[in-house]
Amino acid sequence: MEQTVAPSVSFEVDRSQYKHWKLSIDGHIATIAMDVREDAGLRPQAYKLKLNSYDLGVDIELADVLQRLRFEHPEVHAVVLTSLKPRIFCAGANIFMLGSSSHGFKVNFCKFTNETRLGMEDMSATSGIKFLAAVNGICAGGGYELALACDEILLVDDGSASVGLPETPLLGVLPGTGGLTRVVDKRKVRRDLADDFSTLTEGVRGKRAVDGRFVDAVYPTSKFQEAVAKHAQALAAKSDRPASGPGITLGPLSPSIDGDTIHYKYVKGTIDRARRTCDLTISAPDSPQPQSGDDYLKAGDSSWALRAFREFDDLLLRLRLNEPEIGTVIVRATGDADAVVAVDQVLHDHASHWAVREIIGLIRRTLKRMDLTSRSFFALIEPGNAFAGTLFELALAADRAYMIDHPDEDNTIRLSVMNGGAYPMSNGLSRLQVRFLGEPESVDEALAHDGPFDAQEALDAGLVFSAPDDIDWDDEVRMAIEARAAFSPDALTGMEANLRFAGPETMETKIFGRLTAWQNWIFQRPNAVGEKGALMTYGREGRPQFDFKRT
């Protein structure tokens, strides 16, 4: 099968034009029902989305639904995830989409899909919104991975409904959005049972699914909806969300695109194709900002903290999917650093307010998206910079930070209360803790520092990689960027993924570490994507032919 690159992808969705999901809200319970339109994939000429199978477009819509539930519907305390198609919950990622997509697209598709699943688990852990999967039929592969992201899984016992991860026996690949990891780490399925389960094309059903911990309960068709409602109400009762609104309506970002420059209100990205770089600049607040949680409600989606990081998130996703040859992102923060620190203090002081909690959560998830993006990030700290507090997290997330030591111009950075752990990485540690894993005392020293750091102080404190003077600045930065561009992008992806997550391993780091290795290796192997590979022969005449040598 010929492999193609998907057309340019937009991650903004008109909520009135969902093609694949139906959202309904009844009191404190929201129901998100999957009803995938077969003819509405990102590349409808290449494949049909049969049996509630999904492609990236389906998952972009789901991510949008989840984001809107967080911000626009504070009254929602629990979500039921189900299907409107009879006897089918979800058949997983569309196989013909995978078989006809480029390698890079497959990997980024799996990455975005898993970030969405992790977003559901983050909602449960931090937003007070619990999830119940009401599996009303066959639930396979990525469909079961979607159910695994929920707090509870109920399965209808109708004689045919089942859950399964059939990728290994059917396709020669793996459930790459966390399926195997969640089965043993989250649901704590016994290893031998998980091994057998992962080699079954038909999955498991009924009592066997419950006994193995693959689902929480099964109910006959006549009692299924009643049981779903009862379980959903019990989950909703655990929430600390408000009883009613108002919420914050998320309007369109509507960036302007002029050639190789995309410009939002606070974020700008300019691509240099010859150098294979993107200059990414995020601006500090330039107007008065909310001073309380209720002020944030009144400001809607226009507050800097919410708007700027929605824009930053959108640009990261566009770079991932639409600009695969842009390997190095040069990050700058400009404007009034004091304004950033002032915003941070309000966020910290009002973190218990549900809307402020959601804004902090959005920033945290966006910074994680940066951590998990397979690009090199270099932060350039120059006079007039706004690398303070929350924006300094961008420098901490970068692979290297360069700070000019200029004798005639003021150039400083500054930490705030939000650098102390408000935005943990996937490993559960702050970026300062990961940076100073071998010298934890340096974290406290940096946070206790009174006022800004000049270039030499920042270098001595270990907060930046290099602090050249104004004479050497241009040459050192230029040579660093040119050297980066000369390395193998595959080697850099592996290197950066290995180096960014020092410290303890969590389910999240396991999933992404394995995603990087599994998908970048298995999706390239002839046994999966060769002419007679399992992924390429599925649904066609003939059987896959394997090279049976172990490596």
Q: pLDDT grade, residue 514 (50/70/90)?
A: confident
- b or e along 412-425 (b: 16 or more beta carbons within 10 Å of the residue's beta carbon)? bbbbbebbbebbbb
Residue 151 zone, left/alpha/beta (φ > 0; ψ -120 to 50; rest): alpha
CA distance 126 to 228: 23
- Predicted pLDDT at 541: 73
> Alpha-carbon distance 381 to 395, whole Å?
9
What is the torsional sign of CA 520, 522, 527, 533? Answer: negative
User: What's the CATH superfamily of 256-495?
Assistant: 2-enoyl-CoA Hydratase; Chain A, domain 1 (3.90.226.10)
Phi, psi of 133 (to 5 degrees): -90, 115
pLDDT of residue 2: 47
Give the count of beta carbons closer than 10 Å to the beta carbon of residue 374: 20
CA distances from 513 to 215, 370, 378 (A): 26, 15, 22
Cis peptide before 246 (omega within 30 of 0): yes
- 228's CB contacts (< 8 A; 6+ apart) are 80, 82, 132, 134, 154
The H or E element containing residue 132 is strand 130-135
Q: What mean pLDDT do residues 391-397 have?
A: 98
Tokens of 274: 């010859």
pLDDT digits (tens, 9 = 90+) for 248-275: 999 999 999 999 999 999 999 999 999 9
Does residue 29 register a pLDDT over 80? yes
Distance CA 454, CA 403 (A): 9
Q: What are the C-alpha distances in Å from 119 to residues 39, 63, 147, 320, 380? A: 27, 8, 13, 18, 30
Q: Residue 480 carries which side chain, given as an amino acid letter?
A: A
342 close to 398: Cβ distance less than 8 angstroms: no
CA-atom Rg of the chain in angstroms: 24
Q: Please name the residues in contact with 449: beta carbons below 8 A apart, sequence gap of 6 or more.
A: 415, 457, 461
Sheet holding 163-164, edge to edge: 87-90, 137-140, 163-164
Which tokens sit at 232?
A: 């959903």
Contact 242, 74 (CB under 8 A): yes
Cα–Cα distance for residue pair 134/80, rounded to 1 Å? 7
How far is residue 389's CA from residue 432's CA, in Å, rounded to a whole number? 12
pLDDT digits (tens, 9 = 90+) for 155-176: 999 999 999 999 989 888 877 6
Looking at residue 7, its pLDDT comes to 62
Q: pLDDT tens-digit profile of 435-484?
A: 999 999 999 999 999 999 999 999 999 999 999 999 999 999 999 999 99
Where does the pLDDT of residue 519 fall: very low under 50, low under 70, confident under 90, or very high at 90 and above?
Answer: low
Query: What is the arithmetic mean of pLDDT over 282-300?
Result: 98
The chain-wide mean pLDDT, for the chain, equals 94
Distance, CA of 369 to CA of 373 (rounded, Å): 6
Distances (CA, A) of 341 to 17, 274, 338, 435: 39, 37, 5, 21
Strand segments (E) across 11-113: 21-26, 29-34, 53-54, 78-83, 87-90, 92-93
- Between strands 412-413 and 453-454, the pairing is antiparallel
Confidence tier at 5 by pLDDT (50, 70, 90) = very low
Which residues, in sequence order, are bridge partners of residue 292? none
What integer is the mean pLDDT of 36-42? 95
pLDDT tens profile 337-393 = 999 999 999 999 999 999 999 999 999 999 999 999 999 999 999 999 999 999 999
Which of 100-104, 141-145, 540-544 holds the top average pLDDT?
Answer: 141-145
> Does pLDDT of 289 surpass 50?
yes
Predicted pLDDT of residue 498: 85
d(CA 551, CA 545) in angstroms, rounded, equals 17
296 three-class SS: helix
| CATH class of the domain comprising 16-236 | alpha beta
CA distance 513 to 494: 9
Q: What is the 3-class SS of 363-374, one letter each residue?
A: HHHHHHHHHCCC
Phi-psi region of 51 (alpha: psi -120 to 50; beta: other; left: phi over 0): left
* Alpha helical stretches, state H, 237-336: 293-299, 304-322
**Model-level pTM?**
0.94
- Is there a shared CATH topology between the 16-236 domain and the 256-495 domain? yes
Smallest CA-to-CA distance from 168 within 538, 511, 531, 516 is with 538
Residues 79/128, Cβ–Cβ less than 8 Å: no
* 20-24, 339-343, 357-361, 540-544: least confidently modelled range: 540-544
Q: pLDDT value at position 518?
A: 65
Angle, helix 103-122 to helix 56-72, in steps of 10 degrees: 20
pLDDT at 522 over 80: no
Q: Hey, where are the domains in the chain?
A: 16-236, 256-495
Give the whole-angstrom CA distance, residue 492 versus residue 488: 6
The alpha carbon of residue 311 and the mean position of all alpha carbons in its chain are separated, in whole angstroms, by 15
Q: How far is CA 225 from CA 24, 163, 302, 336, 518, in A?
A: 15, 18, 40, 55, 38
* Residues pairing with 288 in the sheet: none
pLDDT tens-place string over residues 132-160: 999 999 999 999 999 999 999 999 999 99
